[in-house]
């Protein structure tokens, strides 16, 4: 594989964005460096984006929340004249392999969801100031914002030209957000999504494609007025100054990755990675003020950053590691102590809120990760509260029943007791899945009474047999069977078709209600993945491959 | 193309099923004729099915409702020993082209939905009497029933071996029905869907995969007891004797199809078919008793049967006709008269109910049809009530504003007035889409007040300008522009990628809530279609293609 993609950056390294802060209002100004593509072979003209641009956007959204807590409204706009954003770079897409396209779309979708959640969760509403053409992913980026203000200059248009020009879908939530978020009439959405030239300002506001329009002379002021109004409505919790998100301490080796609180060990022959999340080495600080002094090293923030980075790294750079074994290590009571500190300040302290929202987003990233996820709950592990949520995000939970038989290695200290799983208030709504349900509610969709019963167990460590009886784990082999059972389950998983597993997991993980987010990852993404594989888009004569060559795509006209 | 597939049959022609009626209880006994495949190249061993088997099942379900109104519970079982049903025939699937596979899955899904709706809508509950192995689509067939009773003979298993054996998904609703209908825990569903040998009776009932088990000596009685209990719970409306579903009068020519009340004219060069639904030639009978005397010729039943058959015919046999133009012709008041007769007996007469449920299913078939649907509302048309629903099911509605300019042809009789659209009570909940919303509620998802306002218009013909203002139609060109505008819209549609259109339409048509049905057609089907296109399933070394050869599939291990 080529050099790995890194998802961590900081504003000093941005090539495509400017982040401007002015009191309560921030501006993210996109001005893509045409020569700054993350891969060779294309130029980022007209503010088109690739993964490199999106990594900066992702970073900027994250930093606004943690480093600039005073910000209450964010204006997303373009530094170019007459152009807001031309969407995903088409040559980049055309030259990308299938897995790359799919992974790129997943990350961009997650980033757009992060924009929406900044408004709903964190009181940082986004306003798209569409100062010129917003095409395809450019308009979809605006659709992810809370409000869209569009310049009415007689030429700017919003458009979704993917279907007519490229024979693919607006795959970054556009179709879903038109009808499900903005409630655009579906026949009008049909017109928008098939009209390559798009829709100018007056019709756009009539059809509900944007919220407001303004002539060039009044555009800047209109944007500012709306940003101020959004800031005034913000319910962002108070708290101290921002936290500096210092560079991640990540050691990369061929056999795995190592962060201070998270390790990943690869077994390439078996297609496995073992991820271990380590409990804090010391108890929680006495107060949030003391936590703040720990900065980015404060364990709940540090471990979430590391896990989030690891998920992105593995998804992008280690596509043959199809099964992730998820373990924890350390003291459960310490984990719960940190969680109590944060939960106690919920709604009253922006930092406590941000850390938990970040954990929620990271867990959701896991939910949509196209890898098989097995939790291994062993003696010495600390699946408690937020870390129990990690186990519940997995496709299966294996819990060792009783104690290992072997002798303790010399110098290993006291042997841990039997494996336990500890639920806390965190497991009953603090980290909802993107379908709006807690992972426990989604695990027992037909049985709210059982979830209520589980709530009675809050704080009590539950051993394997009881956990099995309560349905908290899938299997609870004893020490005699443990290694064989895990090995067989991993070998079996590795023998199955990666595509079939991806489809199966995507269908099983989201029982219950659907939301725009689940529709984007379930319905829209699945159709887009299908369309991407079809010769009409990606074959040698397909429209995506031929775009820009002057030759139109040649289509098999049979409908499937 | 080879000789077309016909979806109409009758019990005298069944090769794979027996339909047995005993008072309130019916039995559908599957005993597939191994040599009776609808295409050459495979044998229907172990009660595996192909489209031909499913066409008979579809017919039997329909006839039970119309011809046997006294039936209140249906036992679905197998005539083979130790085998319930082995699911879709794998060699058939392996040799089918992509579009064939997708179309086959769609029809089988619709038929399984019809089984569920027979219970909820029509008081004919289905009981799967699983008297032996139920594998893959065989278990999915049982999952579509209201209850599953399984024989506990130490060998029978229910299984979903698609992922482990074939590298495809259980594509007929299995994954969705496990977690969303039966509320099976998702980690257990993961185990079920990856374990090729399946699950025996005791575990099956523990995990919620079946409702009850019985040893062989008590199985027959247990099934009968449950069938009687289901019949006793049935709220099937009373009414007269059954209606004979006489053979369809369908004339097939190269340029189109003609039924008494529906015509379809092909324009192969343009990839178009114009479907015209004709209003009844005479007013509604005075009573349902009089309607009953008309039998299958009673217009609402006749026109629905014809339209349903036409949709299936076109979907399967005319895959290059990508755009369907939907017209109506005749007197709107007459259409509404028939609808009043049926609506007036709702809940009190099984025939009135069945006809409207049938229309609901037919409209839902249209909703999931992978063709672009344009309604053309012209002078002389009768888009009123149930037929207005046809227009609302379309992706776009074009309505001619004013009167055509030309002179009337000699002998053409009186010129019709301007085109109108007439809403009736039928448009506000009588024919819900599979997301549970009326088509109007789904058209104005953000605006229940507007839907309430439209309800005030019930019964009043609305002309084009008003309809445009109310958002009931997409465009309302006048006579000067009408032909050009329709022609351009059709040409534009024909120029687009069929796959991209299918994906786009599937995403736009179902704004709002999701149900198991929409999840099956949206999420599950899209993933299955994707998996079907992937080399791991359908490539020369793919598991689906290699099944039965003794060679395992060879997989690209990269996760996408």
pLDDT score recorded for residue B258: 98
Sign (positive or negative) of CA dihedral A424, A427, A428, A431: positive
pLDDT score recorded for residue B404: 78
Residue-wise pLDDT for B282-297, tens only, equals 999 999 999 999 999 9
Q: What is the DSSP string of B87-103?
A: EE-HHHHHHS-HHHHHH
How far is the C-alpha of B79 from the C-alpha of A484, rounded, in Å?
Answer: 41
Q: Which two tokens stand for residue A519?
A: 């529709």
Residues 6+ apart with CB under 8 A from A252: A4
Dump strand ranges (E) for A65-151.
73-78, 82-85, 87-88, 125-130, 132-135, 147-151
Q: Which two tokens stand for residue A238?
A: 């108070």
Residue from B435, B404, B420, B427 nearest B468 by CA: B420
How far is the C-alpha of A294 from the C-alpha of A278, rounded, in Å?
Answer: 18
pLDDT score recorded for residue B30: 98
pLDDT score recorded for residue B406: 64
A291: distance to nearest CA of chain B, Å? 37
B519 contacts in chain A (CB < 8 Å): 514, 522
A82: distance to nearest CA of chain B, Å? 28
How far is the C-alpha of B474 from the C-alpha of B481, rounded, in Å?
Answer: 15
Q: Which two tokens stand for residue B375?
A: 């309604």
Contact of B26 with B77, CB cutoff 8 Å: no
* B371, β-bridge pairs: none
How far is the C-alpha of B315 from the C-alpha of B99, rounded, in Å?
Answer: 10
Q: Higher confidence at residue B214 or residue A516? A: B214
How far is the C-alpha of B224 from the C-alpha of B230, rounded, in Å?
Answer: 10
Q: How far is CA B355 from the centre of its chain?
A: 15
Contact of A520 with A93, CB cutoff 8 Å: no
SS3 track for A181-198: HCCCCHHHHHHHCCCCCC
How far is the C-alpha of B102 from the C-alpha of A361, rounded, in Å?
Answer: 35
Residues 6+ apart with CB under 8 A from B40: none
Residue from B360, B374, B315, B325 nearest B505 by CA: B374
Residue-wise pLDDT for B432-468, tens only, equals 999 999 999 999 998 999 999 999 999 999 999 999 9
Nearest chain A residue to B440, by CA: A185
Nearest chain B residue to A499, by CA: B531
A317 contacts in chain B (CB < 8 Å): none
Give per-residue burial for A76-88: e unless 16+ CB within 10 Å, then b.
Answer: bbbebeebbbbbb
**Average model confidence (pLDDT) across chain B:** 95
pLDDT score recorded for residue A416: 85
Contact of B85 with B137, CB cutoff 8 Å: yes
pLDDT score recorded for residue B1: 45
pLDDT score recorded for residue B493: 96
pLDDT score recorded for residue A415: 79
Angle made by CA atoms B411, B416, B421, in degrees to the nearest 5:
150
pLDDT bracket for residue B133 (50, 70, 90): very high
Residue B355 pLDDT > 70, yes or no?
A: yes
Q: How far is CA B281 from the centre of its chain?
A: 28
- Asked if the Cβ–Cβ distance from A180 to B512 is below 8 Å, we say yes
Nearest chain B residue to A555, by CA: B497
How far is the C-alpha of B515 from the C-alpha of B177, rounded, in Å?
Answer: 11
* B338, β-bridge pairs: none
Nearest chain B residue to A445, by CA: B183
Helices (H) and strands (E) in chain B, counts: 22, 22
Q: How far is CA A276 from the centre of its chain?
A: 20
Residue-wise pLDDT for A228-274, tens only, equals 999 999 999 988 899 999 999 999 999 999 999 999 999 999 999 99
Of B394, B504, B537, the CB nearest to A193: B504
User: H-type helices in B318-375, by residue range?
Assistant: 332-344, 350-367
- Asked if the Cβ–Cβ distance from B507 to A176 is below 8 Å, we say yes
Looking up tokens 């992702």, which residue turns up? A58
How far is the C-alpha of B174 from the C-alpha of B516, rounded, in Å?
Answer: 11
A152: distance to nearest CA of chain B, Å? 24
**Average model confidence (pLDDT) across chain A:** 95
Nearest chain A residue to B473, by CA: A187
Helix (H, G, I), strand (E, B) or coil at B361: helix
Q: What is the mean pLDDT of residues A369-390?
A: 98
Q: Which two tokens stand for residue A140?
A: 């979809």
Q: How far is CA A464 from the centre of its chain?
A: 32
Q: What is the mean pLDDT of residues A469-497?
A: 97
How far is the C-alpha of B474 from the C-alpha of B467, rounded, in Å?
Answer: 9
* B125, β-bridge pairs: B73
Residue-wise pLDDT for A499-545, tens only, equals 999 999 999 999 888 898 999 988 889 999 999 999 999 999 999 99
- Asked if the Cβ–Cβ distance from A558 to B500 is below 8 Å, we say no
A469 contacts in chain B (CB < 8 Å): none
Residue-wise pLDDT for A385-428, tens only, equals 999 999 999 999 999 999 877 655 556 567 789 999 999 999 99
Distance set, CA A272 to CA A266, A275, A319, A559 (Å): 6, 10, 11, 39
- Asked if the Cβ–Cβ distance from A537 to B474 is below 8 Å, we say no
How far is the C-alpha of A426 from the C-alpha of A442, rounded, in Å?
Answer: 15
Residues 6+ apart with CB under 8 A from B273: B256, B264, B265, B266, B267, B314, B318, B321, B323, B324, B325
pLDDT score recorded for residue B204: 98
Contact of A130 with A550, CB cutoff 8 Å: no
Q: What is the mean pLDDT of residues B367-388?
A: 98
Burial (CB count within 10 angstroms: exposed 0-12, middle 13-18, buried 19+), residue A33: middle
Looking up tokens 């002998």, which residue turns up? B411
Helix (H, G, I), strand (E, B) or coil at B487: helix
Residue-wise pLDDT for B154-208, tens only, equals 999 999 999 999 999 998 999 999 999 999 999 999 999 999 999 999 999 999 9
Residue-wise pLDDT for A85-97, tens only, equals 999 999 999 999 9
pLDDT score recorded for residue B408: 57
How far is the C-alpha of A97 from the C-alpha of A254, rounded, in Å?
Answer: 24
How far is the C-alpha of B140 from the C-alpha of B87, rounded, in Å?
Answer: 8
How far is the C-alpha of B511 from the C-alpha of A30, rounded, in Å?
Answer: 32
Residue-wise pLDDT for B391-435, tens only, equals 999 999 999 999 877 655 556 567 789 999 999 999 999 999 999
Contact of B519 with B109, CB cutoff 8 Å: no
Residue-wise pLDDT for A158-197, tens only, equals 999 999 999 999 989 999 999 999 999 999 999 999 999 9
Residue-wise pLDDT for B65-109, tens only, equals 999 999 999 999 999 999 999 999 999 999 999 999 999 999 999
B403: distance to nearest CA of chain A, Å? 24
Residues 6+ apart with CB under 8 A from B262: B275, B276, B277, B278, B303, B306, B307, B310
- pTM as predicted: 0.96
Residue B48 pLDDT > 60, yes or no?
A: yes
Helix (H, G, I), strand (E, B) or coil at B105: helix
Contact of A149 with A222, CB cutoff 8 Å: yes
Residue A58 pLDDT > 90, yes or no?
A: yes
Q: What is the mean pLDDT of residues B463-477?
A: 98
Of B320, B495, B558, the CB nearest to A558: B320
Nearest chain B residue to A163, by CA: B500
Residue from A395, A278, A272 nearest A327 by CA: A278
Angle made by CA atoms A15, A16, A22, in degrees to the nearest 5:
105
SS3 track for A498-552: HHHHHHHHHHHCCCCCCCHHHHHHHHHHHHHHHHHHCHHHHCCCCHHHHCCCCCC
- Asked if the Cβ–Cβ distance from B498 to A164 is below 8 Å, we say no
- Pick from A433, A503, A533 the residue to mutate for testing the B interface (most B CBs within 10 Å): A503
Contact of A537 with A543, CB cutoff 8 Å: yes
pLDDT score recorded for residue A414: 72
B396 contacts in chain A (CB < 8 Å): 187, 190-191
Dump strand ranges (E) for B231-361.
251-253, 256-258, 262-267, 272-278, 323-329
pLDDT score recorded for residue A255: 96
Residues 6+ apart with CB under 8 A from A183: A208, B444, B445, B446, B447, B511
Dump strand ranges (E) for B402-536.
420-422, 462-463
Contact of B67 with B245, CB cutoff 8 Å: yes
- Asked if the Cβ–Cβ distance from A526 to B531 is below 8 Å, we say no
Whole-number percent of chain B with pLDDT over 90: 92
What ipTM was assigned to the predicted interfaces of this complex? 0.94
B375: distance to nearest CA of chain A, Å? 11
| DSSP code of residue A162 | I
Q: What is the mean pLDDT of residues B218-228?
A: 98
How far is the C-alpha of A263 from the C-alpha of A279, rounded, in Å?
Answer: 12
Distance set, CA B140 to CA A501, A508, B128, B144, B284 (Å): 18, 15, 10, 6, 41
Residues making up chain A, counted from first to last: 560
């Amino acid at each position: 594989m080529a050099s790995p993609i890194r998802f961590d950056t900081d504003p000093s390294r941005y090539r495509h964005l400017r982040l401007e802060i002015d009191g309560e209002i921030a501006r993210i100004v996109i001005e893509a460096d045409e020569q700054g593509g993350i891969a060779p072979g294309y130029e980022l003209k007209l503010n088109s984006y690739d993964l490199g641009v999106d990594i900066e956007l992702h970073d900027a959204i994250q930093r606004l929340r943690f480093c600039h807590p005073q910000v209450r409204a964010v204006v997303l706009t373009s530094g170019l004249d007459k152009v807001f954003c031309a969407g995903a770079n088409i040559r980049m897409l055309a030259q990308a392999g299938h897995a790359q396209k799919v992974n790129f779309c997943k990350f961009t979708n997650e980033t757009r969801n992060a924009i929406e959640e900044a408004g709903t969760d964190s009181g940082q509403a986004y306003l798209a100031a569409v100062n010129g053409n917003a095409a395809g992913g450019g308009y979809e980026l605006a659709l992810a914002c809370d409000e869209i203000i569009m310049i009415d200059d007689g030429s700017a248009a919003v458009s979704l030209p993917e279907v007519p020009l490229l024979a693919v879908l607006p795959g970054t939530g556009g179709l879903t957000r038109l009808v499900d978020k903005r409630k655009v009439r579906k026949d009008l959405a049909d017109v928008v999504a098939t009209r390559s030239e798009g829709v100018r300002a007056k019709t756009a506001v009539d059809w509900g494609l944007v919220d407001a329009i303004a002539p060039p002379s009044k555009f800047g002021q209109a944007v500012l007025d709306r940003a101020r109004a959004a800031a005034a409505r913000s319910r962002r919790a108070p708290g101290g100054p921002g936290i500096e998100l210092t560079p991640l301490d990540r050691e990369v080796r061929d056999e795995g990755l190592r962060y201070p609180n998270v390790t990943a060990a690869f077994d390439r022959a078996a297609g496995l990675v073992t991820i271990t999340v380590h409990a804090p080495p010391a108890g929680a600080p006495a107060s949030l003020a003391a936590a703040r002094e720990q900065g980015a090293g404060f364990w709940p923030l540090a471990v979430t950053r590391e896990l989030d980075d690891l998920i992105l790294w593995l998804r992008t750079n280690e596509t043959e590691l199809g099964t992730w074994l998820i373990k924890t290590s350390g003291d459960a009571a310490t984990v719960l102590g940190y969680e109590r500190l944060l939960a106690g300040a919920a709604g009253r302290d922006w930092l406590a809120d941000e850390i938990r929202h970040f954990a929620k987003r990271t867990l959701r990233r896991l939910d949509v990760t196209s890898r098989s996820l097995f939790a291994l709950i062993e003696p010495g592990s600390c699946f408690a509260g937020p870390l129990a949520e990690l186990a519940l995000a997995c496709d299966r939970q294996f819990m060792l029943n009783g104690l290992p038989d072997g002798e303790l290695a010399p110098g290993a200290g006291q042997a841990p007791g039997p494996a336990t799983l500890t639920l806390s208030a965190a497991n009953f709504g603090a980290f909802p899945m993107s379908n709006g349900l807690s992972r426990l509610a989604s695990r027992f969709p037909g049985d709210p009474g059982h979830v209520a019963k589980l709530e009675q167990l809050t704080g009590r460590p539950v051993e394997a047999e009881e956990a099995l009886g309560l349905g908290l784990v899938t299997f609870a082999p004893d020490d005699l069977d443990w290694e064989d059972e895990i090995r067989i389950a991993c070998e079996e998983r590795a023998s199955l078709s990666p595509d079939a597993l991806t489809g199966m997991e995507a269908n099983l993980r989201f029982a219950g209600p659907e939301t725009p987010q689940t529709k984007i990852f379930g319905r829209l993404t699945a159709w887009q993945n299908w369309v991407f594989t079809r010769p009409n888009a990606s074959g040698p004569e397909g429209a995506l491959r031929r775009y820009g060559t002057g030759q139109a795509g040649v289509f098999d006209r049979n409908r499937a």
